[in-house]
Structure formats: structure tokens, C-alpha cells
Amino acid sequence: MKNIRILHLFPELLSLYGEYGNLQVLIHFLRKNGFTAECVPYEEGELSLEGFGLIYIGSGTEANIREAAKRLMPYKDIIKAAVKDNKLFLATGNSMAIFGECIEAKSGEFPALGIFPYKTKESEKRFIGDALTKDAFGSQAIGFINTSYIYEGISTPLFELVLNRELGNDKRSPSDGFCEKNFFATQLTGPLTVKNPHLLCHFIKLMTNENIELSDSENIVKAYSNSLAQLRKRV
């Protein structure tokens, strides 16, 4: 029986929208399908990425995002090497700001990890709304966006929004998030894997190299179908 370990970066500092739920549902369905699974929290101190099937990070206040970037700065080379080696990452909400070149905030410019060549700018305005994407990984993704960040320079978006298209990365186009190797990032909160069973299955496949199937009777599938039907009416 394969053991899957998930590293949760900053579960206390960055869990603004209950994003621990992303990992709870992953662990539940991993165990339900015959795997052993555990979640390891990280807040500060020595960081190792060895032995983890997924590294996850969620969203937080703008001040906490900058604090998380500061705590991770000593380990940026370790993170960069892990990305290069196809280690699986998932960043949701505004945590993707941590992995760009810098964060231009109201109070000045702050360094980010520089893993990817984009910049984050903090706006005076908040960008808020429901999100529905084009088909991706087998179906449309649903979620919610609530951010003050504008991202410039992302060339490999993860999703394309079809509802509230103006909420994309640069707040001019519908492109959301990014994907580089096995690093997946999106502005969507929800939590993402709770609201999107097809994405849940996709990440389990990436972690285990095995397919799992969810029946239509699963509550997670019923909730997704209902939400999808309602959001499609608004496009």
C-alpha cells in the first residue's frame, strides 16, 4: 500500500478561505481508494521537500503573503530545484504572488521568491466574483476570486475564465493562474478540490499514477453538478 505524504505550507498563516479543506478531501479520497495518506504542516523553521507527493499553499491577507515569502526566502533554491524536478505543487488564491519576482505593495516593493518571471501588483481595488472556466482536465472548474493582486507577465495560464472574465490574472484578459511543469497555481478559492471533483481526481492521479472514479451519488459530485448548472446560466 503506497503512503502519500502532503506538505501543507502555512496552514495557520495562509488559510483565509478554509483551504485546509483542499487537503482534507484529498486525504479522504486517497484513503477511500486504498492509500495511506497524511498531511504535514509547516509554519517556519527548517524546510525539506523530500518525500512529499504534493506541496500545497493557500491564500492569506496581503501582509501574511509577504510574511510567507519572507519565511520561504532562505529555501528558494530548494523550491526552484523541486519545481525543475517536477515535484507537484498546488497554490490557490493569492499565494501565487509568493513565487513571482516581486510584490509591488502600497507600502513599497517586496521581494518574492523569483521562481517564475512575473510580477505582482497590489491594487487599491478588490476584484471579487464567482468564477467558471472553460473545460480543463475533463470539465469546467468553478470557484470564487477575491483579491487585490494583479499579475503581469504570466504566459502559461492554467484556466480561461468564461464568467467574470475581467477577473483574470492581469484584470484585462480571462487568463487565470499558471502551470509550469507540475506547478499549478490559480486565483480560485473554494476550496478548489472540494468544489471540483474532476480536479480532485486529477491531482490524485498525479500523486499516485492511478485513476480513481467518483460515482454520481457522491455528495461532492452532486454539489458540483448543481453549482455548475447555476453558474452556466450566468454566462
Centre a 10 Å sphere on the Cβ of residue 12 and count the other Cβ atoms it contains. 11
Centre a 10 Å sphere on the Cβ of residue 151 and count the other Cβ atoms it contains. 26
pLDDT > 90? residue 167: yes
CB of 122 closer than 8 Å to CB of 152: no
Residue 75: phi and psi, rounded to 5, are -115, 15
Cα–Cα distance measured from residue 214 to residue 58, given in angstroms and rounded to the nearest whole number: 25
Those residues with Cβ within 8 angstroms of residue 51's Cβ, 6 or more apart along the chain or in another chain: 5
Q: Over the chain, what is the mean pLDDT?
A: 96
CATH of domain 3-232: 3.40.50.880
Place of cell 466574483: 129
pLDDT > 80? residue 177: yes
CB of 130 closer than 8 Å to CB of 163: yes
Cα–Cα distance measured from residue 180 to residue 195, given in angstroms and rounded to the nearest whole number: 23
Q: What does the radius of gyration of the chain's CA atoms come to, in whole angstroms?
A: 17
Cα–Cα distance measured from residue 198 to residue 203, given in angstroms and rounded to the nearest whole number: 9
* Confidence class for position 106, pLDDT limits 50, 70, 90: confident
% of the chain at pLDDT higher than 70:
100
Q: Which amino acid is at 24?
A: Q
Beta bridge partners of 37: 4
Residue-wise pLDDT tens digits, 205-227: 999 999 998 999 999 999 999 99
Q: Locate all alpha helices (DSSP H) within 86-217, ordered by sequence.
A: 192-195, 197-208
Per-domain residue ranges of the chain:
3-232
Beta bridge partners of 145: 129
